[in-house]
Structure 1
C-alpha cells in the first residue's frame, strides 16, 4: 500500500512541474513513510511513496521491469504474484527482487494491457511504456484503491489523493454542483464525479491510456454481472467456505506484523476465525460510552472464543473536533461519520501492526444490509397487490401508537425510511434508505435561485443509481447488491477505509473483496443469500456454523457507527453552529439562510437523520473554507 502521483504534459506547457511533483509526493508521505522515489523523463514524471509490506529491502519505486520497457508506480497488493512470477520465469523473465511490484511491471511488459485481467488483488498503478511513451493508468475491479485524475490544457495528471492532485495539476478550485448534489443525497461523491469540477475519479475496473498529455482511451476492463449457477445448497455452502478460506490465506502474505479489526459482527468475526486457523491473531476493537453503539462486549466474546491477542479502546466525544485533520485527507466533502472511529482505530492498531484484515464487502457480497430485506418485502407486496393496503395499515399503526403512548414523541406517516420506501418506486426506493435530503427538506433548505435549484425536484442521484439498477436482470436482490457494489462500496466504504487507514501507514485487506469470491456469491440463487424472513447472509451463517457460536451470529446488526446525534446535540453543538453560521458566502448561494437557521435551532434529541443533515452541512462548510472552493 502506497501513494502515487504523476503527469504527462504537453510540450513546454507547465513550468515548474518537477517541483510540483515533488511537493505532491510530500503530501502523500503519510501513505508511504518507508521510502520515496521520483522518475522524470522529458514531459513525463512519476512519484511514489512506499509503505513496505513485501520484500522490505527490495521493491523500491518507481521500478523498471527486466526488459527495461516498463517503469511503474503502484499502490496496492497483487495477491497472486507468486503464480504470475512462476509463469513469467518460464518466459525468460529474470527477477532481482521478491516484490509484487516487479511481477506487475513484467506482466504488463509481456502481456500489455491484457495482463490486467491476470491480476488478483487491490491496485492503482501507472505503467509507462518507454517505447511508445504511453501511460497505462489502472484501478482495481472493486475500487479498493483510489485514483483521481485531471485532463486539461496543460496535460494529464493523476494522484492517490485529491490534495496532492490539486498541487500537482494546478487546476482551479471551482466546485462541481452535480457532485455536491450527489453528496447531499448520499453523503459521499460517487465516481466519476469529484467535488472539484476539473478532477475526476477513475471508476473501478477501468483503465486509461495517455499519450502526450491526452487521454486516448478510457475503457472498462471488468464489470460484475455473473451468470447464475445451478448448484444445490449444500455444495454451495462447501464451496463458499473453500473460496473464502482461500481469500483469507492470500491476504496473510506479509513481511511485517499483521492483525485484524474485530467488531463482533459476522464479517469481521469470520475473517478473524479464518486467520486463527493459521496461527495467533492480534485483534483491535473500538468502543463508545453510549451502549447503543458500543460493540466491545461482542468483540470480546469473539476474541475470547478464538483466543486472539485482543486490544481495545474507547473513543471520546471530542474526537469529532479532529475533523479538520480528517477533511484534509479526503479533499472533498465526505459525511459518513463512521470514518472517525476508523481513523482512530487505525491509529491505535498501527502501533502494533502494519497490515490489518477487515470484513469490508461482506454485506454487499452476501446481502447483509437491512434495506435489502425491506425492498424485497415491498416487491412482494407489489406482486400481491398489497402495497397500498399495507401503507394504510402502517398509517393506522403509527396513529394508534401516538394515541396509546403519549409519553413518546408524536410521529406521523412516513415515520422511517422503510415507510418512505413504501411510497416510492425504484430507484427512488433505494435512495429512501440513504438519502439525506429528500424532496421536502430540499424545498426548505436549497436556495431557489442557486446552483442546486434545478436539483430540488430531481436529484442527480436518481439517474446515477438508476443507471446501475435498471441495467440488470429482474432479481431484486441482485439489482440492489450490484448497485451497491458499483456505488456505495467504492464511493463510501472503500474510500474512507483507504484514506483513514493510510493516514497512519496501515494497510487494510478484506477477503470479502476477493473478486472471485464476490462473483461466486452473486452467481448463487438469491434465496441462498437471504432467507424467506428477509435475514441476510444465510449461506455464511450455515457454511461457517462450526467456527462461530450460533448466538453470536444471531445478535442484532448494529453497524460500525458513532452516537452522532448525542454528540452534535451536546458537547459539539456550539462548534457545529459556529462553523455553519460562519460559512463562506458561496455556501449561502447554495442554501437558504432561513432554512439553515431553522435546522440549527431545531431540537436534535435522538434524531439521527437530523444529526446527519447538520453534520453534512458542517462538513461542507469546513471543506469550502479550508480548500477555498468556489462556485462557478
Structure 2
C-alpha cells in the first residue's frame, strides 16, 4: 500500500501545489519523495511509501539507467514479477516487484504491458522521450486512482481524490472534474513542450471473467471442478505471501475470511515463515463474529487478537470513516466502521503490516442473501458480474481505504485474476445458492478437507455490519438511533431540494451525505447509486431487513 501523486502542465509553480500530496501521507508512512521533472515545465511526481518489498531499492519515483526517459510511480503488488523477468529476459536491477512495468512498457507498449501483470496496481508512467503519460489500473480496481483533467492541459493524478482538491486553477473545486480511472483500463496522454497534457486514448486491457494472458504457476485445470477451486484458491493465497513484512489476516469467523485464514496458515507452514500468523476480529460485546472467529482461531492455532469496541467509539469514528472512504453509500459506511477500528488496532498494537481479507467472495460466489431470490441461474450470473464490475466503488473501496488510513496493505485472494476467471467460467446453475445455502459450491469444494470445521464452513451469511453487532443491541439500531437524533424531520423532507442527486431517503443516509458534502462538496456523482439488494422489497441494505436472514 502506497500513495502516488502527480501533476502535469500546471499554470503555477508546483511547489505550491505539492502540499496536496501530504493529504495521502497515511498511505505510505515509511518514506516520502517528490521530484520535479527536468526540462518539463511544472511537472512533478510524488510518492508516499509503505515498504513491503526491496526496502533498499524500491523507492519511487522509479527510474532505471537502462531507460532514463521513463519515470514510474505505482501502488500495488506484481505477483508474477519473477516470471516476467525470466520470460522477457528483462535484466532487472532491483528485486522490486514493480520494476518489470518499466521494462514491459518499453518492450510491449502500454496496453500489452498492463495485460501481463498478475497483481493489483495503479500506475503512472511519464515517458519524456516520447512525451507521453500513461495511467493504468488493475482489473477490479483494488488499488485506487483518481485523476483531474481539464481543457487547459492540466492533468493531476492521485491515489485518493482528496489529494486533488485545490489543484485546478481554471475552475473551482466544486466544478473540477475529479473522477476515478476505470479498472482494467489504461489511458494515454500527450505532453507538449510546456508540460501540457492532451488526452489521446482509453483502452481496456482485461475484462472481468476473461482468463488473463500471462504465464503463471497456477496448477493445471482438471475435470474435477471442486479440485480446481481448491487448487486455484490455494495458489491465489500462496502468491500473496510475497512480502518482507509480517503478514496477518482479518477474521470475522464467516466463510470468506475463515477460508483465507485457513489457507494462509497452511501455506505459511509450508513456506516456513519465521512468525506465527496473527488473526484479528472485531465486534461489539457478545457479537457473533467475535465468538465464531475465536472458534476458527483455536482450530487453526493462530495468534488471535479480539477488539471489542463500544457504541460510542463506533459512532465517533463515522466522520473519519467517511473522510477516508470518499463515499456516502450507506452499507459501505456501516461496514467500514468496524474495519477502520480494527485497522487502527493492528497498526498500533501489532507488527503486522500486510493483511489478507475475504473481500470479493460474496460478489464472485453469489454470497449475498438476496441471491436466494434470483429468478434464474442466468439472472444470478448477470448480477454477480455486475457487482464485480462495480466492486471498486463499494467493498473494494472499503477494504482499501480503511486499511490504508492506518498504513496497512490489504490483499484479497478471492479477486485473484485466475481464480475468479475460472469460477465465473463454471455453469451459472452450479454457482447459484442451493438447498437454502448461499455460496454452496464454494463451501462444498472445501467440505471434508479438514481445512475448517463444518460449523464454520456452513455458517450462514452475515453482513459485516450485522456480524459485529451485540446481542443486546445491533450496530444497525445504534446507528439509527444516533442519526435520528442528528437529523430532524424537516431536514429529511427538504432533502430533495438540497441533494437532488441520490436523494437521501432516511435520516441515516442524510447524516452520511451531510458529512460527505463537508469534505467533498458537489461530488455526489462519484457514487452512481446506493448499494441495495436486488429482487427484494426493502428500503435498507442491511441483511437484517431480509426475510431469509431472519429465518
The answer, yes or no, to whether TM exceeds 0.5 is yes
**1:141 corresponds to which of 135, 139, 142:** 139
2-side partners of 1:334 and 1:239: how far apart?
36
Contact 2:283 2:289 in 1 (8 A): yes
1:343 is the counterpart of 2:254: no
1:577 is the counterpart of 2:487: yes
CA deviation after TM superposition for structure 1 residue 350, in Å:
2.0
CA deviation after TM superposition for structure 1 residue 19, in Å:
2.4
1:480 is the counterpart of 2:383: yes
CA gap of 1:174–1:617, structure 2 versus 1, over 3 A, is farther
Moved over 6 A (4+): 231-234, 580-583
1-side partners of 2:107 and 2:500: how far apart?
54
1-side partners of 2:49 and 2:415: how far apart?
23
**2:415 corresponds to which of 488, 508, 513:** 513
Match of 2:81 in 1: 81
Contact 2:141 2:183 in 1 (8 A): yes
* Cα RMSD for the two superposed structures: 2.8
Higher relative contact order, chain-length normalized (CA < 8 Å, sep 6+):
1
CA deviation after TM superposition for structure 1 residue 581, in Å:
7.2
Aligned length: 483
CA gap of 1:173–1:101, structure 2 versus 1, over 3 A, is same
CA deviation after TM superposition for structure 1 residue 226, in Å:
4.3
Larger Rg: 1
1-side partners of 2:462 and 2:121: how far apart?
31
Match of 1:216 in 2: 200
CA gap of 1:225–1:86, structure 2 versus 1, over 3 A, is closer
Q: What pairs up with 1:497-512 in 2 under 5 angstroms?
A: 497-512=399-414
Q: What pairs up with 1:53-452 in 2 under 5 angstroms?
A: 53-65=52-64, 66-88=66-88, 90-91=89-90, 93-95=91-93, 97-113=94-110, 114-154=112-152, 155-170=154-169, 172=171, 198-212=177-191, 213-226=197-210, 235-278=224-267, 279=269, 280-289=276-285, 294-318=288-312, 319-335=314-330, 336=332, 337-351=334-348, 352=350, 353-376=352-375, 379=376
Contact 1:2 1:75 in 2 (8 A): yes
CA deviation after TM superposition for structure 1 residue 582, in Å:
8.1
1:23 is the counterpart of 2:19: yes
CA gap of 1:7–1:226, structure 2 versus 1, over 3 A, is same
Q: What SS does the aligned partner of 1:99 have? A: coil
2-side partners of 1:131 and 1:120: how far apart?
28
Normalising to structure 2: TM-score of the pair?
Answer: 0.81
Gaps of 5+ in 2: 192-196, 212-219, 270-275, 467-473, 526-551
Gaps of 5+ in 1: 176-195, 380-473, 600-612
CA gap of 1:156–1:270, structure 2 versus 1, over 3 A, is same
Q: What SS does the aligned partner of 2:57 have? A: coil
2-side partners of 1:270 and 1:329: how far apart?
28
CA gap of 1:498–1:85, structure 2 versus 1, over 3 A, is same
Normalising to structure 1: TM-score of the pair?
Answer: 0.71
CA gap of 1:539–1:276, structure 2 versus 1, over 3 A, is same
Match of 1:180 in 2: none
Q: What SS does the aligned partner of 1:150 have? A: strand
Contact 1:75 1:145 in 2 (8 A): yes
Q: What SS does the aligned partner of 2:462 have? A: coil
CA deviation string 1:472-521 (max 9, x = no partner): xx92222111011011x211001121111100000000110101100000
CA gap of 1:534–1:131, structure 2 versus 1, over 3 A, is farther
**1:523 corresponds to which of 422, 425, 429:** 425
1-side partners of 2:252 and 2:170: how far apart?
41
Match of 1:32 in 2: 28
Match of 1:553 in 2: 457
**1:568 corresponds to which of 465, 479, 485:** 479
CA deviation after TM superposition for structure 1 residue 150, in Å:
1.6
More helix by share: 1
1-side partners of 2:422 and 2:524: how far apart?
45
CA gap of 1:121–1:483, structure 2 versus 1, over 3 A, is same
Contact 1:261 1:356 in 2 (8 A): yes
CA deviation string 1:59-91 (max 9, x = no partner): 100001332232100011111112112334x35
Contact 1:623 1:629 in 2 (8 A): no
2-side partners of 1:531 and 1:627: how far apart?
39
